[in-house]
Chains A and B, each alone.
Chain A
Amino acid sequence: MSEPPISRGFHGRKKPEGPTNRVPPGQHLVSDFPVLSAGPTPQTKLEVWSFTLEAGGKLLKEWSWAEFEALPQTKIKTDIHCVTTWSKLGTNWQGVTIDDLLAACGLSEPPAPYVLAECDGGYTTNLPVEDLIEGKAMIATRYEGQPLEPEHGGPARLLVPHLYFWKSAKWVRGIQFREGDEPGFWEALGYHIYGDPWREQRYAGD
């Protein structure tokens, strides 16, 4: 399709929805926080929750909930963009940055160029490691000052706000560092391998 068809009688919103330089192409702003996930919400109890980092099939470190909570905490205020076209501005999160996790393992740099994040419920997502470091991502455990609710990914979710929000995997339990970039759950089902909202990389090939 070369020229998009004009939809007769469609005028869109006359008033601007907000700061348009913060809304990527094809997105619209919402004030609530929609929930999208593929199956039942896991209800993992904090007593059995753990978080692991692995590289090359070897365990680097494992934290219990209490140990994880004792790691350095970082707060971030950021915009989030879901591939289903909603965006939400100025959301407040708290958690542990990937930089601080690596430091807690005694690593000065990541052990491999890609990661696969693994979650309760079997969900996975793949990312280049450079999108996780230097303050760009965290394992978030608080949203707007409150413990993260299960339906929004609690007790902990990956937060990579500069990519479409499916990359911010809910119910995350570990990160595997890998030499290759292998598609995760939605990526294997036709979603984009990288998912940059500013380049509108929604689906494979975009």
Chain B
Amino acid sequence: MPEIDVAPSKQRRLLWRTAEVKEIIEETPRVRSLVLAVPDWPGHLPGQRIDVRLTADDGYQAQRSYSIASAPEAPQLMLTVERIQDGEISPYLTAEVRPGDRFGLRGPIGGFFAWTSAVGGPLFLIAGGSGIVPLMAMLRHRAAAKSTIPALLLYSSRTFEDIIYREELDQFAARDRELEVVHTLTRTQPVGWSGGARRIDRDMLADFGFGAKLHPKIFVCGPTRLVETVALSLLELGHERGLIKTERFGPTG
């Protein structure tokens, strides 16, 4: 049985609430964060998701799941959404939407892919692209809780411009001796780039990651191919299956 570190939330019915967009943050050319006001939000664990439901004026509805980007300690809920070509909802959330707009939201969902400082560490996070979002909620929580649990983020992006939350991650790492952030860029690297320059592989996990003897709590989130490669490599490196939690990003257009 996989280890369940975080007690599942009570089996209460998840109500649809009305979220109002308060602020929009352009993260990268294809990624936006939305800061939301959600009345009576019940709180969440870092790593959990919500469902968004849009309603057109003719009553047509569409819904998708998105990871929560904000820490539970943050005053308002934040989602970070990547624009998917031919998507139905992400183009709206990344281009059309503006402050004051409203949509349906319910959650939090999922208590397995979740971490709090009470779970302990070390905390080993591996992200590909917008897979950083639920892991960022964990790092933001760790910072807000002033946790000194050793943490390491290995983060793969296509290009320097595609790195989501780059400045905030830099700030976290600069002021926190127990946090290390390692970037790798798979397509192009800027002149003088000192980080990785290929996809995350077993050697990279061995060179930069926590060793299996430390029994790190591992969270992997990204496209299926990355998650499959990383999870298998971690097993080969001796990490325990029950400590490796994964979330694979399908198309959430």
Contacts and interface: CB of A to CB of B under 8 A. Distances in A.
A68 B38 CA distance: 52
Contacts of A188: 8
B12 interface: yes
Interface in B38-91: 51, 53-57, 60-65, 88
B1 A13 contact: no
A190 B109 contact: yes
Contacts of B60: 11-12
Interface in B199-240: 224, 228, 231-232, 234-235
A8 B101 contact: yes
B117 interface: no
Contacts of A204: 11-14
Nearest to B49: A84
A37 B1 contact: no
B2 A121 contact: yes
B110 interface: yes
A39 B104 contact: no
Interface residues of A, number: 41
Interface of A: 1, 4-13, 26, 28, 30, 32, 34-41, 43, 82, 84-86, 121-123, 151, 185, 188-190, 202-206
Contact of B112 (A4, A10, A30, A38): A38
Interface string B161-195: 00000000000000000000000000000000000
A123 B2 contact: yes
B17 A1 contact: yes
Given A34-B224, A34-B250, A205-B13, A189 B111 contact: yes
B8 A10 contact: no
